[in-house]
Amino acid sequence: MTYSPIATLPPARFSRGSVVAILAFYLVFAVFYAATIAYASQEFDPGAFPSYLRRVLLLDYPLKALWTLPVWWLFFRTPLDKAAWSTKLLVHLVAGPLWVTGWFVSYYALLGWLGESGISGNGRVWDMYIPALFYCVQFGLLHVARYTQQLRLQSQREQQLQVQAHQSEVSALKAQINPHFLFNTLNSISASVPPELETTRELIARLAHTFRFALEASRQEQLPLGDEISFLRSYLELEKSRFGERLSVAFQVDEALHTQLLPPMLIQPLVENAVRHGLAPSVAGGMVLIHVSRVSAGLRVEVADTGVGIKEVPSDLLMPSARVGLRNTHARLLALGSAGLKITQNAPHGMRVSFVLPLPAAAQLATIPAQKEAEPIKIPAKPTLQSTF
């Protein structure tokens, strides 16, 4: 599955190294600017350079930095950060002249307020040309740095995928040592169960089905969503045999999505987390709802429960303190180009865990209308005690 590193690139921030680099850039450009103005107005008078440099360092370039901040925020902290280069260029064609004009007006207004005079006459063209050049160079370097960060992130993600592929291959080889031994054993146990214990026989069959799917999942990079849903039904029937009427289950999955391929075992950890940490501690139990739909960004999956919920949503799912299933699934999603898991509180109680998986195979989804926005899934406050399978 291909992915774009832009989709999961963290928001731009000023690190200590970037601040030092920006200050060095401003200093070099300030010296160049002061030397240019001194040359243009004083005809090589060396005594004029220190006064111009002092004004540039204390007034001119701090003012440029203030005007730069909102433009930087526009390009690197809004959805424009993920836009095409042509779109960014068009925005720069508007933002650049506004930036130069804003700086020019405010700079000369401050000079007048301080009782100082700036360049007069035709010399003022330098106060338009140099800032325009500064704007182009500054944001050109910022875009190059951002693009380099994207390439570095893409390289890291590709390495992670290679490691995961190798681990999956090793797991598949281990599973192939003698997988039929387990199935034959389960069949033998099933055959020895008395006819009056048909429920037990069915549970053994479902257990064999879950093992068979897990084995198949270890061999394949992608499986149809329908197979994943069938596996979840068997898994939840096994859980329901333990919880009884405390567990109610519902699926909301468009049948047209059943043929859509996706990496296996992405949903099961979320369902297991809902049952184990949401419903198991609750005396009354509750409902688990699995909702899969198509959205404009790809395939949206949400697992919601009406269990005990969580006191505080973890700020970083990659931290060791996060639950293992959620942490591993979040890391897999990030490697696949997704924004990862989103965890929210459910109303009136419980938890919602969702993710959106980018899908390059848009042709398989062409016949399914995409939802403009993911609407909240409605779960009854007091769920019925019947599983919907």
Task: Specify the higher pLDDT residue, 3 or 151.
Answer: 151
Report residue 388's pLDDT band, with 50, 70 and 90 as the boundaries. very low
pLDDT, mean of residues 238-255? 90
Q: Are 316 and 374 in contact (CB under 8 A)?
A: no
Domain residue extents for the chain? 5-159, 244-389
The structure's pTM equals: 0.51
Q: For residue 19, count other CB atoms closer than 10 A to its CB.
A: 10
Architecture of the domain defined by 244-389: 2-Layer Sandwich (3.30)
| Residue 296, pLDDT above cutoff 70 | yes
Cα atoms found within 13 Å of the Cα of residue 363, Cβ hemisphere only: 0
Outline where 193-224 has alpha helix (H). Answer: 198-219
pLDDT digits (tens, 9 = 90+) for 80-134: 888 888 999 999 999 999 999 999 989 888 888 877 776 666 667 777 888 899 8
| Residue 387, pLDDT above cutoff 50 | no
Per-residue burial over 314-346, b if 16 or more Cβ lie within 10 Å, else e, is: beebeeeebbebbbebbbbbbbbbbebbebeeb
Residue 115 falls in which region: left (phi positive, over 0), alpha (psi -120 to 50) or beta: left
pLDDT, mean of residues 231-244? 88
Q: What per-residue confidence (pLDDT) applies to 355?
A: 95
Q: What per-residue confidence (pLDDT) applies to 71?
A: 92
Amino acid identity for residue 131 in this structure: P
Distance CA 113, CA 289 (A): 66
pLDDT digits (tens, 9 = 90+) for 38-55: 666 555 455 556 666 777
| Residue 319, pLDDT above cutoff 60 | no
pLDDT, mean of residues 172-195? 67
CA angle 305-211-268, nearest 5°?
Answer: 20
Lowest mean pLDDT among 123-127, 297-301, 319-323, 358-362: 319-323
| Percent of the chain at pLDDT exceeding 70 | 76
Task: Specify the higher pLDDT residue, 119 or 178.
Answer: 119
| Residue 345, pLDDT above cutoff 70 | yes
